Amino acid sequence: MKSAVYAIVAVVAAAAGFVIYRFAIAPRIEPAPAAQAQLPPNTPAPVESATPAELPDFSLPDLNGNATSIRHWTGKSMIVNFWATWCAPCRREIPLLRQLQAEQAATGFQVVGVAGDSHDDVVKYAQDIGIDYPILIDEDMQAVTQFAAGSIGFPFTVFTDNQNRVVAIHLGELTRPQSEVLIDAVTRVNKGELTPAAARTVVARQLQQLPSAPSSMDSPG
């Protein structure tokens, strides 16, 4: 008799637990984006406002310790990559960023890396692997947290037109097909064919049509 009572209680408890999970807990769970590392636990909270319409005019030290404004590259369409040396997806996309700098410099694009990391670690890593595009170092995460994407993690890449207007922010590891879609959208904005807002709609549709990129679980870290 007792065993039957215990069985009934267990069934009722299981059902109650499922209802609580299904309607109270599950709706609050959001999947983490693939191929992204989390920011360190002491990272400042991101700014509450939405993603800025323009690239903020922040200044940070370069590899030589010289303060440099992100607006230094006047008239350029910017590819600003936020990364860290401890982030595996960040390290994997650096060869592509080097290629983009070499290929797109003549068309008015400029790649800049913003490293949310310690100065010594960034300098050593950049020298070891031969990063040949400009690097700024954001040890206090002040530039990172001006973007809503900074609350998600590294890497993320900001694409702007040649007037410093933010056209798109790509979350996670950047692939060649994705970069082609994003650069084409910026180029069309520069030509006056699209507004930044219209370009974001086009980019979202085109990125959805691309084959799924391998996740960080499928690639060596």
Give per-residue pLDDT as tens, 107-126: 999 999 999 999 999 999 99
Pairing of strands 135-137, 109-115: parallel
| Cβ-contact 131, 85 below 8 angstroms | no
- Convert the pLDDT of each residue in 198-213 to its tens digit: 999 999 999 999 987 5
Domain map of the chain by residue range? 59-209
pLDDT given for residue 213 in this prediction: 55
Burial of 130 (0-12, 13-18, 19+ CB in 10 A): exposed
**Is the distance from CB of 108 to CB of 75 less than 8 angstroms?**
yes
Q: Is 62 helix (H, G, I), strand (E, B) or coil?
A: strand
- pTM for the whole thing? 0.75
For 136-176, the pLDDT digits (tens) are 999 999 899 888 776 778 999 999 999 999 999 999 999 99
Please give the torsion angle defined by the CA atoms of residues 51, 104, 135 and 220, in that order, rounded to the nearest 10 degrees: 90
- The domain at 59-209 falls in which architecture? 3-Layer(aba) Sandwich (3.40)
Burial of 202 (C-beta count, 10 Å sphere; 0-12/13-18/19+): middle
